[in-house]
Amino acid sequence: MRIRILVDGKSFGVKQGDNLLHACLSNGLDLPYFCWHPLLGSVGSCRQCAVKSYDSEDDQEGRMVMACMESATQGCRISIDDPEAVRFRAQVIEWLMVNHPHDCAVCDEGGECHLQDMTVMTGHDHRRYRFTKSTHRNQDLGPFINHEMNRCITCYRCVRFYRDYAGGEDLNAFGAHDRMYFGRQSDGTLESPFSGNLVEVCPTGVFTDKTFKAHYTRKWDLQTSPSVCVHCSLGCNTLLGERYGEVRRVLNRYNADVNGYLLCDRGRFGYDFVNSEQRIREPHGRQAGAAAGEDLDQEAVLERCASLLKTDNSLVGIGSPRASLEANFALRELVGADHFYSGISAQEYELEGAVLKALREGPVRTPSLREVESADAVLLLGEDPTDSAPMLALALRQSVRQQPLREAMKAGIPQWHDSAVRGMIQDRKGPLFVATPVATALDDIATEALRAAPDDVARLGLAVAHVIDPQAPAVGGLAAAAQALAKRIAAALLSAERPLVVSGTACGSTVVIQAAAAVATALSVARAQTEVDPPLLFLTLSECNSLGLALLNPKPLAQLLKSGGKGVGGTAVVLENDLFRRAPAEQVDALLEGRSLVVLDHVPHATTERAHLVLPAATFAESSGTLVNNEGRAQQFHAALAPAAAIRPSWSWLRGAHAAARPLEAPPVSLEDLRNACAAATPELAEVWTPAATAEQTQTLRYAEEKVPRASFRASGRTAMHAHLNVHEPSPPADADSALAFTMEGFSSPDGQLIPSYWAPGWNSVQALNKFQSEIGGEQRGGDPGVRLIEPRAAGPSCYPDAAPAAYAARDGEWLVLALPRIFGGEELSNGSPALQERTPEARLVLHAEDGRALGLEDGDEVEVSAPGCSLRLPVTLLDDAVPGVAMLPLGIPGKGYLALPLRASIRRAPA
């Protein structure tokens, strides 16, 4: 309910029950703060948001209160400008500055420091403390985070985020009084996969981005652009910062529905592949049969394209789940829909098919991450999102607080009153039920965690569905314990207000995905006649544009490979893809045999090595495009830098080649034209780019009649950048693909998806975000970016499989080898980032401890894994919390090539 409060005599509309700091900030008022954070709530420790509160109109005296610790009530009166409050806030800053270094001018946080902003805001500018400052020893916290404890102002946000919000355990508050210390018990890598958020959560420079420090530049000298993370299927929104042709860092870009204020460490630190020395920077041609090739200039390359593509009326194109919708569509246009193939493995295609069926035909809605956070009972089947879709795991860590939170609210404790809420609900969590083949990082918050092979996970899921809706297939021969567990899960889901079922392709099993959909369907049937909210079904996919590619209806790659490419033309065009990661080498070899191969990509791999023509493609950081996340949300990313001379976005190469080969069929077009064509050709994508720009407009894309500058108006080094070469400043690169410009000039405060950075007068840190939200923690002014493409059918056909799979039976001497996703080392692009490489653990086969003992193995011993078409040697990790007869193999081991997981294999101790 909206109410009105009086701040310094002026009336403001606020949400009843919000704390006063939240209410003031939502109304655009400037009130300094440190310990409060919209995600973390209030604890009242820093005392920075002090205001005067008055009991009534007659109260002239007032009393000092902390705005963050008081609820807004109808007609309440406060003053920010009261001289006593103003003086006290300046005094608080003076206390905080007692031990803080006075080195803003040379500090690497300077210019983007909340402490600096708040110090200026309170007017504290004269130092009266004349004694020694205390100093601390810094810790080595690993490759992501730099530690500089002397800057600490003891706001406690770091530990509250790291421990209370993200479930981390290895960062803590130590010491007491004015000798507080925030760090690890001893030096060492921060273990939480969300540690990078400390960079933004810390209001000053205690925790900073070590990868950024490695190629540091003043933050106001960065060119920044709104982007979308390419390192998993969730589509978190990011801000890329660039200087001198190099991506320097990734920051969170707020999207209330998706990632909110946070990113995972893969998303934040995986960017460095863009700067790789391995990058393909020149077009490269190789005549058929020749061992070596040559770099080509633009003219020669298009000629070569034309000759390769013109001569062949039935080209074959292989798309990519990590390339944009536009690039995939341009390829489909070039080769024709009949010859457009999905660049994913046979297994992946099947798994995706199961997900798509549930999304497109099922009656249950796929929630946003924000909705996941507010789910109050969760069933997680098959995978550990901490590794496959990390921000989902973080969202689930919030959902387990929902039911206990209700108790606190019933006791009259406002939700923002964080310490009181936590004091009351203590460690109560859930319900969250986890059923996976191996221990997960979410087990610590799980109500119950079951270890089972995928078929048994599916059987449990179907048993739950059957308990909820008897129309769902019955599961025969289920053990009594599993049946009882299914009943407990069903009861928890049925009694919840917002039940959620989670699974995804990382579980490697279509029957598990079907079972997850069945549980959600059963819930939706059971709840159909009631007033309660419908259930939710969240399914992860593998890559950043898996769903976007699928929506273009490509044919399965396996079909093409099985036929050995019979019936398709003599030239294959491969878009941003290494086929040797997608299929067995002999199948790929058979396809490539005797064919001309054109490959577009940004780093070399086995497929580019085989190509007759390699076209240097822009990464996401150098191009604009659209990705569709697992939720079916289409989101646009924008280039942070113009690509180097010979590099072009894939869609542009493809369109250029198309025009060169068949000029009548495909005149040169802009990105917007291509989008219009894509929307026209694909009904499901019709809404993605609305309102689409017309052909004339595309040449002069504008926001509010002006371009939006990527550089901040404080960018100080622009004219100096090339001065050692030429004192004439070169004109900035043009950007016809977006309304953004590579300059300092233009309209600098756009809304929505074009916001290139957060800045407002007096707010230089990331917390300037406050000024871009319609209300704190709510949606952005101008709406959050992204368009949802898939909504559930009102009363779709049943999503139940015909029958439950048979129970998993371990076979003597044979193991079921499953794919094990890994947050670091498990994703192709981020694997090229040095910081992530440092965090990538040795690839090990995970075996149940009993199996290991039976083989005479100890942890770390080497084993041989043998199956038809597969022979591997690697060390083992023995776990009690796994399934006997099931082995887990890390996904994406460099140099190990393609493995058709799951597979049956024999395992034995490797000979010395």
Partner 1 sequence: MERPLTQNIDRGREPLGLKAYEAAGGYQAVRKVLTEMTPEQVTKAVKDSGLRGRGGAGFPTGLKWSFVPMGDDAPHPKYLVCNADEMEPGTFKDRVLLEGDPHLMVESMIVAGYAMGADVGYIFLRWAYRLADRRLRAAIAEATAAGYLGDNILGSGYSLTLHVHVSAGRYICGEETALLNSLEGRRATPRAKPPFPQVSGLWGKPTIVQNVETLCNVPHVINRGADWFRGLSRTEEGGTKLYGVSGRVKNPGCWELPMGTPIREIVEEHAGGMQDGLKLRGLLPGGASTDFLVEEHFDTPMDYTSIQAAGSRMGTGTMILLDDGNCPVGMALNMQNFFARESCGWCTPCRDGLPWIEKLLQAIENGDGHADDLDLLDAHARDLGPGNTFCALAPGAMEPLHSGLKFFRQDFERHIAGKGCPWS
Write out the residues near partner 1 by the rule CB under 8 A. 43-48, 50, 63-65, 69, 88, 91-92, 95-96, 98-99, 128-131, 153-154, 156, 173, 175-180, 408, 411-413, 417, 419-420, 423-426
Minimum distance of partner 1 from residue 47's CB (angstroms): 5
Quick check: helix, strand or coil at residue 787?
strand
Minimum distance of partner 1 from residue 192's CB (angstroms): 20
Q: Which is nearer to partner 1, 118 or 666 (CB)?
A: 118
Query: Do 878 and 858 form a contact (C-beta atoms < 8 A)?
Result: yes
Minimum distance of partner 1 from residue 121's CB (angstroms): 16
**CA 820: distance to chain centroid?**
19
What counts of helices (H) and strands (E) characterise the chain? 27, 36
Q: Which is nearer to partner 1, 45 or 524 (CB)?
A: 45
Q: Which is nearer to partner 1, 7 or 46 (CB)?
A: 46
Q: Which is nearer to partner 1, 73 or 719 (CB)?
A: 73
Q: Which is nearer to partner 1, 156 or 653 (CB)?
A: 156
Q: Which is nearer to partner 1, 154 or 342 (CB)?
A: 154
Minimum distance of partner 1 from residue 427's CB (angstroms): 9
Minimum distance of partner 1 from residue 208's CB (angstroms): 22
Q: Which is nearer to partner 1, 10 or 177 (CB)?
A: 177
Q: Which residue from 285, 308, 279 is spatially nearest to 645, judged by alpha carbons?
A: 279
Q: Which CA distances in Å does 406 have to 70, 378, 490, 499, 777?
A: 20, 16, 21, 15, 20
Q: Which is nearer to partner 1, 174 or 216 (CB)?
A: 174
Contacts of residue 890, defined as CB under 8 A and 6 or more positions apart, other chains included, come to: 820, 822, 825, 826, 843, 844
Cβ count within 10 A of residue 64 = 13
Minimum distance of partner 1 from residue 131's CB (angstroms): 5
Minimum distance of partner 1 from residue 180's CB (angstroms): 4
Query: Do 37 and 157 form a contact (C-beta atoms < 8 A)?
Result: yes
* Cis peptide bond upstream of 902, omega within 30: yes
Q: Which is nearer to partner 1, 427 or 531 (CB)?
A: 427
Q: What is the 3-state secondary structure (H, E, C) of 855-888?
A: CCCCCCCEEEEEECCEEEEEEEEEECCECCCEEE
Minimum distance of partner 1 from residue 91's CB (angstroms): 5
How do strand 596-601 and strand 181-183 relate by DSSP bridges? unpaired
Angle value at C-alpha 636, between 732 and 667, nearest 5 degrees: 70
CA atoms of 94 and 104, how far apart (whole Å): 15
Minimum distance of partner 1 from residue 66's CB (angstroms): 9
Minimum distance of partner 1 from residue 157's CB (angstroms): 13
How do strand 903-909 and strand 815-820 relate by DSSP bridges? antiparallel
Minimum distance of partner 1 from residue 64's CB (angstroms): 5
545 torsion bin: left (phi>0), alpha (psi -120 to 50), beta (else): alpha
Q: Which residue from 847, 844, 865, 869 is spatially nearest to 856, judged by alpha carbons?
A: 847
Q: Which residue from 96, 107, 128, 167 is spatially nearest to 399, judged by alpha carbons?
A: 167
Q: Which is nearer to partner 1, 12 or 88 (CB)?
A: 88
Minimum distance of partner 1 from residue 63's CB (angstroms): 6
Minimum distance of partner 1 from residue 423's CB (angstroms): 6
Q: Transcribe 224-264 into DSSP letters.
A: EEEEE--SSSS--EEEEEEETTEEEEEEE--BTTTTBT---
Query: Do 319 and 549 form a contact (C-beta atoms < 8 A)?
Result: yes
Q: Which residue from 752, 718, 901, 884 is spatially nearest to 808, judged by alpha carbons?
A: 884
Q: Which is nearer to partner 1, 44 or 852 (CB)?
A: 44
Quick check: helix, strand or coil at residue 281?
coil
Q: Which is nearer to partner 1, 35 or 462 (CB)?
A: 35
CA atoms of 392 and 234, how far apart (whole Å): 8
CA atoms of 686 and 702, how far apart (whole Å): 22
Q: Which is nearer to partner 1, 132 or 731 (CB)?
A: 132
Residue type, 4: R
Cβ count within 10 A of residue 615 = 31
